[in-house]
Structures are given as structure tokens and as C-alpha cells.
């Protein structure tokens, strides 16, 4: 094995994050012995005590690392956030912005890749819990990837019309029927910024992830949007689809209404390979995917840009169960596996920070992957590191899936603990 290592920033965050990271440290050390880990502070504690959820030294660590793996971070509405600030910071004009969104915007992590895999193969889905049912089937009933736009869309601007700084928007909305019955102070406007630049890069990522679906004959990008209603932004997206589709002649691109996609996800999930969606719609669709998988404890995500990559569970900080030692560490460990697959694809040694999106994680792991041309290793000793990392990622995946099926935490109906789950994964890795 090559001695080259990668510098990985761990972001325990808050809520269930720190207890998950602490339980999983030995697993990560065993699974990826060449990685150098550094912890960096982020989240609610940093906000309350210092008024900034991402300290400057955390930004520095992130900017120089090969990748980061985040556990869980609380995002609360601005007013609640202000109320929880330390006394000396309250009323000083500090504004809370979700650290998760800050990371995505500032590091330009434009593609949020969220694989929806049938990890439990029939054992934990809503469909199978309807009856006592047959024994779990080994063949997956779905397997697709949601690629969510992470830097624009409906998350871009959410503006109060109260002040004089309403950017001329008041004049746009003031004649709307409900607005005429309201006041300026009682009105806010969210903008869906949509650019051809943003969509072309997202769609290229989406296209490069096709061909890994549960149905191996599929090579399809489904754009889930609302072009019949959001006509102007929909037209930008359609033009981007036309342009990128011409670059990928063997990929079938379809634009579908997002509401219809939610229904198809329930009735015929096997019809999807890659689903691309703008920020808010992708947020919703990926939680639907989590529901198909069996719960939010399972899915993990890669936030990828051209310069950086941050891996995270799709779940949040779950303050209701924080400190009880029962949080499911599966998604965090799967995030680490995605990180390894990404670094393997990058085929790089130490040094430069991740140039994320030239290589997408081998998210589907075991299912008939068709590596896209740009995920190939660059050769020499890097290739050795790459295949070694891929093998290690796959061993970790297999161990996690095994424990998920045999001895899960309470979110999946078991009685295992966070520490017990992690210890069992470590034991299986060692055997």
C-alpha cells in the first residue's frame, strides 16, 4: 500500500454529532489507516458562545484539507438563534446563517449527491413494514441518486419587504391579491435564482453518475422541476438540459414535474437512475428517498465542488435523542466510505485540496458500476492508493450494512447503541 495519506477534517458539530464521531473514531482509524484526521469546531456551540457558527480556523482547516466529513449540525430560524446567543452578544446585530448552507456556498459545493440505495434490501422499508411479510429479499427494489443543486435555487434569497432595502421587490409584489390585504412588514419574498452556468455544471455531474441504478439498463437523468408553472427559470433549465444532453448522447434526459416525480418515487422507484433538482425540491426529494430507504439514519451525501468536497449524513442533529447514546452512526460511516471513494477516484496523494467534481464518489458501491471516464485513476502509485481506498471503502460499507441488518439502533427497530454499533463494525472490519 502506498504511504501517501490524505488530510481529513472531521466536523463533529452538535446534537448527536459529537457522540457519533467519538464512537466512530476507532472505526475510521482501522478502515483508513493512512488518513490524518483533524477535528474542527462548527455549529450551535460556536454560535452561542462566539456568535459565529464557523470559526475562522475551521475555514482555514477546510480550505487546506483533502476533504471533510461532517456529523450533524443544528440549523435554527434566525429569531430562535438570536435568543440563544450569550448575553454579551445579544442585540449586537449578529445574524445566524445555517453553517451547512454557508459551507456549501462559500466552498462552492454545487452538487449534493445523495444515493438512495436499498441497503436493507426489503427489511426496513415502509412497504415491508405494512405486514409481517416475507423474509427480506436480497435484490434491491430501488437504487437511484438524487443530485441536488446546492448553491442557488429557492435557497438563494429570502427577503423581508419590511425595510427600505427590499431591492425594488416591493414594487414587483405589492399589487398581488394577498399582498394588498397585508403590510410590508408582514410580507417576505423568496427568490429562485436559476442560471444556465449553475445548471450545466449540475447536469454534467448528474450525467456522469448515470448507469449505476438498480435497473442496469437505465442510463437516465430525470430533471424534477415545475416548468409548467415556473416558466422562466424552467426555460433556463430546459436550455441547459438541451446543451448537456448533446454532450452525453448515450444518456436519456427527461424533464418531469416534481410533483409527479414524488408519486413515481413511491409507485415505480425502479424507473429512476439519477434525479437532478434545484435546491429546495432536491431537499424534499432526497428525504423522500430517505423514507424509501427506511429512515433518516441511513442516507449519506457528498457535497461536491470543483475545489472541495464535504461528506455528511442527510440527517440533522436530532436534539431529542442527543446525549442518550442511541443515535445511528450508519450514515456517518457511509459518508466516510463515500469520502474514500471520492479520494480513490481523485487518485491523488497529499497536498492540494480536493478538486471535487472531476471525480464523483462511487456511490452505488456494489451495483454494476460503469466508471465515468474522468473517474479513472491517474496511474502509478496513485492507482495503487486508489484501488486500495476503494477496497477499504467497500469493506466498510459491507460491515455497516451487516450491522444495520443484524443489530440496528432504535431508529430501525433494534436496541443497539451508537457505541455498540460502531464497535461491531470495527470487529467485523478486523475479522
Which residue, 30 or 296, is less far from ligand IPM as judged by CB? Answer: 296
Of 228, 219, 236, 335, nearest to 278 by C-alpha is 236
Which residue, 315 or 346, is less far from ligand IPM as judged by CB? Answer: 315
Which residue, 98 or 417, is less far from ligand IPM as judged by CB? Answer: 98
d(C-alpha 335, C-alpha 333), whole Å: 5
CB of 98 to ligand IPM, least distance (A): 4
Q: Could you say which of 30, 50, 89, 101 contacts ligand IPM (CB under 6 A)?
A: 101
What's the 3-state SS for 205-255?
A: HHHHCCCCCCCCCCCEEEEEECCCCCHHHHHHHHHHHHHHHHHCCCCEEEE
CB of 259 to ligand IPM, least distance (A): 19
Per CB under 6 A, does 14 bind ligand IPM? no
CB of 287 to ligand IPM, least distance (A): 7
Per CB under 6 A, does 75 bind ligand IPM? yes
What's the 3-state SS for 251-297?
A: CEEEEEEHHHHHHHHHHCHHHCCEEEECHHHHHHHHHHHHHHHCCCC
Dihedrals phi, psi of 332, to nearest 5 degrees:
-65, -45
Which residue, 206 or 399, is less far from ligand IPM as judged by CB? Answer: 206
Per CB under 6 A, does 145 bind ligand IPM? no
Total number of residues that touch ligand IPM (CB under 6 A): 7
CB of 167 to Mg ion, least distance (A): 27
Helix (H, G, I), strand (E, B) or coil at 381: helix
Question: x/- string (CB under 6 A) for ligand IPM, residues 266-295?
Answer: -----------------x------------
Give me the residue whose beta carbon is nearest to ligand IPM.
Answer: 75
Given a contact cutoff of 8 angstroms between Cβ atoms, the answer to whether 72 and 20 are in contact is yes
Stretch that binds ligand IPM, among 6-14, 94-102, 347-355, 363-371 (CB under 6 A): 94-102
Q: Which does 101 bind (CB under 5 to 8 A by kind): Mg ion, ligand IPM, none?
A: ligand IPM
d(C-alpha 122, C-alpha 118), whole Å: 7
d(C-alpha 72, C-alpha 329), whole Å: 11
Residues that bind Mg ion (CB under 5 A): 283
Give me the residue whose beta carbon is nearest to Mg ion.
Answer: 283
Q: Could you say which of 100, 331, 333, 425 contacts ligand IPM (CB under 6 A)?
A: 100
Given a contact cutoff of 8 angstroms between Cβ atoms, the answer to whether 309 and 340 are in contact is no
Q: How far is CA 132 from CA 119, 127, 412, in A?
A: 19, 11, 15
Grid coordinates representing 214?
Answer: 438498480
With b for 16 or more beta-carbon neighbours within 10 A and e for fewer, the 247-257 pattern comes to ebeebebeebe
Which residue, 112 or 166, is less far from Mg ion as judged by CB? Answer: 112
d(C-alpha 189, C-alpha 192), whole Å: 10
Q: Which does 419 bind (CB under 5 to 8 A by kind): Mg ion, ligand IPM, none?
A: none
Question: x/- string (CB under 6 A) for ligand IPM, residues 315-334?
Answer: -x------------------
CB of 323 to ligand IPM, least distance (A): 20
Can you give the binding site for ligand IPM, defined by CB under 6 A?
75, 98, 100-101, 283, 314, 316
Amino acid at each position: 500500500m502506498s504511504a501517501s495519506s490524505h488530510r481529513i477534517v472531521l466536523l463533529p458539530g452538535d446534537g448527536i454529532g459529537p457522540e457519533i464521531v467519538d464512537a466512530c473514531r476507532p472505526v475510521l482509524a482501522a478502515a483508513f489507516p493512512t488518513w490524518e484526521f483533524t477535528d474542527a469546531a462548527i455549529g450551535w456551540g460556536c454560535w452561542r458562545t462566539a456568535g459565529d457558527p464557523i470559526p475562522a480556523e475551521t475555514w482555514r482547516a477546510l480550505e487546506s484539507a483533502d476533504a471533510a466529513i461532517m456529523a450533524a449540525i443544528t440549523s435554527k430560524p434566525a429569531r430562535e438563534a438570536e435568543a440563544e446567543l450569550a448575553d454579551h452578544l445579544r442585540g449586537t446585530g449578529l445574524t445566524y446563517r445555517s453553517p451547512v448552507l454557508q459551507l456549501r456556498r462559500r466552498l462552492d459545493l454545487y452538487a449534493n449527491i445523495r444515493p438512495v440505495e436499498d441497503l436493507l434490501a426489503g427489511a426496513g422499508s415502509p412497504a415491508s413494514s405494512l405486514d409481517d411479510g416475507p423474509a427480506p429479499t436480497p435484490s434491491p427494489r430501488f437504487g437511484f441518486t438524487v443530485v441536488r443543486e446546492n448553491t442557488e435555487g429557492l435557497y438563494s434569497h429570502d427577503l423581508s419587504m419590511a425595510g427600505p432595502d427590499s431591492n425594488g421587490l416591493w414594487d414587483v409584489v405589492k399589487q398581488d391579491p394577498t399582498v394588498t390585504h397585508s403590510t410590508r412588514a408582514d410580507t417576505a419574498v423568496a427568490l429562485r435564482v436559476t442560471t444556465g452556468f449553475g445548471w450545466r455544471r449540475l447536469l454534467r455531474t448528474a450525467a456522469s453518475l448515470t448507469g449505476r441504478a438498480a435497473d442496469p439498463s437505465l442510463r437516465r437523468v430525470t430533471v424534477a422541476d415545475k416548468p409548467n408553472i415556473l416558466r422562466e427559470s424552467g426555460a433556463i433549465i430546459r436550455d441547459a438540459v438541451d446543451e448537456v444532453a448533446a454532450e452525453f448522447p448515450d444518456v436519456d434526459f427527461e424533464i418531469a414535474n416534481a410533483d409527479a416525480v414524488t408519486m413515481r418515487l413511491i409507485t415505480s422507484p425502479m424507473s429512476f437512475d439519477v434525479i437532478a433538482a434545484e435546491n429546495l425540491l432536491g431537499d424534499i426529494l432526497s428525504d423522500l428517498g430517505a423514507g424509501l430507504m427506511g429512515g433518516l439514519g441511513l442516507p449519506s451525501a457528498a457535497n461536491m465542488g470543483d475545489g472541495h468536497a464535504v461528506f455528511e449524513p442527510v440527517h440533522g442533529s436530532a436534539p431529542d435523542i442527543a446525549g442518550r447514546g442511541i443515535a445511528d452512526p450508519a450514515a456517518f460511516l457511509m459518508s466516510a466510505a463515500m469520502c474514500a471513494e471520492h479520494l480513490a477516484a481523485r487518485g491523488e496523494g497529499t497536498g492540494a485540496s480536493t478538486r471535487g467534481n472531476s471525480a464523483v464518489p462511487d456511490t452505488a458501491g456494489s451495483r454494476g458500476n460503469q466508471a465515468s471516464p474522468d473517474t479513472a485513476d491517474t496511474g502509478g502509485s496513485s492507482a495503487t492508493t486508489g484501488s486500495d481506498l476503494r477496497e477499504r471503502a467497500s469493506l466498510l460499507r459491507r460491515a455497516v450494512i451487516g450491522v444495520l441488518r443484524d443489530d440496528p439502533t432504535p431508529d430501525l427497530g433494534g436496541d443497539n447503541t451508537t457505541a455498540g454499533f460502531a464497535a461491531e463494525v470495527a470487529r467485523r472490519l478486523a475479522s
